Structure formats: structure tokens, C-alpha cells
Amino acid sequence: MRQLILDTETTGLNARTGDRIIEIGCVELVNRRLTGNNLHLYVNPERDSDPGALAVHGLTTEFLSDKPKFAEIAAQLRDFIADAELIIHNAPFDVGFLDMEFAQLGLPKVAQTCAGVIDSLAQAKQMFPGKRNSLDALCDRFGISNAHRTLHGALLDSELLAEVYLAMTRGQESLVIDMLGDESLSGSVSTSRIALDDLDLPVIVASADELAAHEAVLTDLDKALKGASVWRTEPAPAEGEAVPAREALTV
């Protein structure tokens, strides 16, 4: 499955009042792995950026003056995103700007070109309701370094979002998958693909203090139940005997 993490920078916040795209960044994932086949484009918007937007992205009118206009890069962009699933943080914003630019050229909307759009901001709000879910906040939450992000940039933000998206949707499973090699994946991760029996997992034995605390908890349970709790119904394993997984979790 081919996915693209996409981000844009713009001259302002409202495409309907004449703001334009000035930068596009796309990071490619195939079967949830970064390929390095990325797209990065600067665009001459033929207008100045609003002061507030300029403070965010730092792309001056002078810097953009010799860059291609959107009409000159539209075909390249459409070919790159064709039939891919797009992953965008606050997707309505970026898609709205892209649709506006395409409409001015008489071209179909993004939805008619790509295979679908995932809004990672909407996903993050579902996972972390009531919390900040900006890209910076998510980087902090998942331990992803964004120290080099002093200004917003479409390609840099796409690269950071790629790491955030993989962390949000795969989490620690990625560590196991990477340990098992580059086996071909088909999108969603299935536990049947992970050969846990092949992993050399460490066994951490409970200390004397931990065993005593465990016994105290079981004794309190016995008193509350006025009888033996379920953890008392089977004898403890002899020294050196493997501990069943269920019992190991209670230690």
C-alpha cells in the first residue's frame, strides 16, 4: 500500500480570499516503511504572504520570486499523489488549498486523484481527547525529536508527521517487526505475522520483597472472599520450573 504524508505552507489561512500555496512536501510510505522517494516543491504564489504566515514559515516573497508557479508543477504533483492514500494533519486545510489551486486550472479535486485522505489530527483527537494535538505536542508525546524545527516547513513537517503517524497507528509493534526483518507487509499489522517464539525474551524473577508483597495481597484477597482466591487454587511451581504466563503476570 502506497501512502503519502503531505503538508503545505501557504501565504495565509484562507484559500477563498486569495491565499495561495507556497510550499509542498510529500513523504512516501510503502507498506508502512519510508522509501526516501519524497517530493518537495516551492511555489511562486504571485503575491506576498500575510505577516502572521511569514512569521511561521519564513519564506519571503523575494525567495519565492524565481520559483515555478503552481500551474507549472501541477502535473508533477498530480502524478505523484495519483492513487496514493494521503495522510495530512488537519486535512481540510491543505486539501482545501490544493482543490482551490486545481480548480483555477480546471483540474479535478484531490479526492478524484488520490485513493483517499486520512486526517491525522482527527485521529489524534480521538486517541487523546482534551489534550493538545498539534504536531509539536504529538512529537513530545511520542518522544520524537523536533529540536531542529524552528520554522514550519512542508517537507520537515511531513517527515515528522510520518514518524508520529507510524507511532500512533503501530506503536511498539514496530520494534518487533523491525527485529524480524523486512518481511513484506500489506498495510495493517497482523499479530499472526509476528513470530514471538523466535524472540529471546528475558525472564525477570521477583525479589524476596516483591514475593512478600504479593503474598500479602493474596492474603487480603482470601480474607475478603472468606476463602481461597483463584491464585491459591494451584500449587506454586518448584524452583527452576517454568512459570505459566497467567501466574507470571501476577508476580
CB 204 within 8 A of CB 251: no
What b/e string do you get for 36-54 counting C-beta neighbours within 10 Å, with b at 16 or more? Answer: eebbebbbbbeeebeeebb
**Catalytic, out of 89, 148, 152, 214:** 152
Question: Does the annotation place 210 within a ligand binding site?
Answer: no
Q: Which residue reads 482466591 in cell numbers?
A: 229
CB 204 within 8 A of CB 225: no
Strand pairing report for 2-10 and 39-42: unpaired
Measure Cα distances from 243 to 24, 107, 196, 236 in Å. 55, 65, 17, 9
Question: Does the annotation place 9 within a ligand binding site?
Answer: yes
Determine the Cα–Cα distance for residues 149 and 14; give it in Å rounded to an integer: 24
Our answer to whether residue 152 is catalytic in this structure is yes
Question: Does the annotation place 200 within a ligand binding site?
Answer: no
φ and ψ at 182, to 5 degrees?
A: -95, 50
CB 206 within 8 A of CB 214: yes
Question: Does the annotation place 198 within a ligand binding site?
Answer: no
**Residues designated as active site:** 152
Residue ranges of the annotated binding site are: 7, 9, 57, 157
Residue ranges of the annotated binding site for a divalent metal cation are: 7, 9, 157
